[in-house]
Amino acid sequence: MLKGKTALVTGSTSGIGLAIARSLAAEGCDLILNGFGDAAEIEALVAEIARTCGVAVVYDGADMSKADQIEALFANAAPKGVDILVNNAGIQHVDKIEDFPVAQWDRIIAINLSSAFHTSRLALPGMKARGWGRILNIASAHGLVASAEKSAYVAAKHGIVGLTKVAALETAESGVTCNAICPGWVRTPLVERQIEAKAKEGGIDIEEASRDLLAEKQPTLRFTTPEQLGGVAVFLCSPAADNITGISLPVDGAWTAR
Ligand code: NAD
């Protein structure tokens, strides 16, 4: 379905971004992977996806907190632009506002929000010129509701939901759509660290901590899998979703239903 298209998935060396990249590649989409990690493992990943899916895969390690590196990524890895842009790179830090390290606030806003502005401003001219494009912003249930001690993350995710709506309005007649996906808990390294902190704090084991984490927020008591989010991303890139734009789609086991 996506043969001949190229997708940039930021933060695709792990977790949700990697699963979305794999799902797009399985539909024939060429990939630009991005994110941090061990160079040899990333090289092996690039080769494995290219081989198993029969698509072209390149890697660019641009730091999404740096506008100049994002510009260099577009100049080097995507001189003709991209057809699908998945703004997924993201980090978390948990602390009360008065204890929140200023450098962490700046970093989270830069990676989780400003990077999507930079990639969008660089991708949109090509998408508009070709009359087709998809921007998928990986927001969060925290783009719709808040939790204590996650000020920067919640502010950035509410911000990206707003950016999604503006991009949808500015591209409404162009064949480009822009939507946000708002996952609840997905068991990736980002959440594993929060489960470990909960276990340590409560003096409980990892499985009990993960059950508590779900029980607090996610009524289905089940994690969404990265692969399920890959399926949602493919749907939003399909012809069935041509007129879906500007939405923030919760995939959150009813987290935001109450
Ligand atoms: P993860 O930690 O598994 O992956 C994060 C990816 O981002 C990695 O590839 C990492 O290398 C990359 N990254 C981090 N900083 C970067 C930077 N400065 N420049 C480039 N790449 C960078 O996390 P995940 O859970 O897969 O999260 C992916 C996205 O999904 C994030 O935006 C996160 O906020 C969002 N999300 C996650 C959950 C969840 O429960 N896991 C829920 C809602 C939303």
pLDDT in tens, 153-187: 999 999 999 999 999 999 999 999 999 999 999 99
CA of 15 to the centre of ligand 1 (A): 7
Query: Is beta strand 248-251 parallel, antiparallel or unpaired with respect to 84-87?
Result: unpaired
Q: How far apart are CA 212 and CA 148, in angstroms?
A: 16
pLDDT tens, position by position, 69-124: 999 999 999 999 999 999 999 999 999 999 999 999 999 999 999 999 999 999 99
Closest Cα to atom 2 of ligand 1? 190
CATH 3.40.50.720 at 6-184+225-257, yes or no: yes
CA of 139, closest atom in ligand 1: 44
Q: Ligand 1 pocket check: which of 88, 185, 216 to mutate, most ligand atoms within 8 Å of Cβ?
A: 88
Question: Which among 16, 46, 217, 251 is the best mutation to test ligand 1's pocket, defined by most ligand atoms within 8 Å of the CB?
Answer: 16
**Cα 18 to ligand 1 centre (Å):** 10
Q: Strands 84-87 and 133-138, how do they pair?
A: parallel
Which residue is associated with the tokens 């399920």?
Answer: 228
Does the predicted model carry a pTM greater than 0.95? yes
Distance CA 257, CA 255 (A): 6
Inter-residue contact 196 to 148 (CB < 8 Å): no
pLDDT given at position 95: 97
Q: In the structure, which protein residues have their CB atom closer than 6 angstroms to any atom of ligand 1?
A: 10-17, 34-37, 63-65, 88-91, 111-112, 138, 140, 183, 185-186, 188-191
Q: How confident is the model at residue 126 (pLDDT cuts 50, 70, 90)?
A: very high
Which pLDDT does position 257 carry in this prediction?
A: 98
Query: Which ligand 1 atom is the nearest neighbour of the CA of 111?
Result: 18
Å from CA of 11 to ligand 1 middle: 6
Assign 220 a pLDDT band (cuts: 50, 70, 90): very high
Active-site residue flag, 59: no
Is the Cβ–Cβ distance between 113 and 34 less than 8 Å?
no
Q: Is the Cβ–Cβ distance between 179 and 169 less than 8 Å?
A: no
Structure tokens at 72: 């260099």
Query: What letter represents residue 111's amino acid?
Result: I
Domain spans, the chain: 6-184+225-257, 187-223
pLDDT of 192-203, one tens digit each? 999 999 999 999
Q: Which of 12, 91, 109 to mutate to test the pocket of ligand 1 (most atoms within 8 A of CB)?
A: 91
Index of the ligand 1 atom closest to the CA of residue 36 = 11
Which of the residues 153, 185, 223, 255 is marked catalytic? Answer: 153
Give the pLDDT confidence of 244-257 residue by residue, as tens digits.
999 999 999 999 99
Report the alpha-carbon distance of residue 194 to residue 192 in Å, rounded: 5
Average confidence (pLDDT) over 45-58:
98
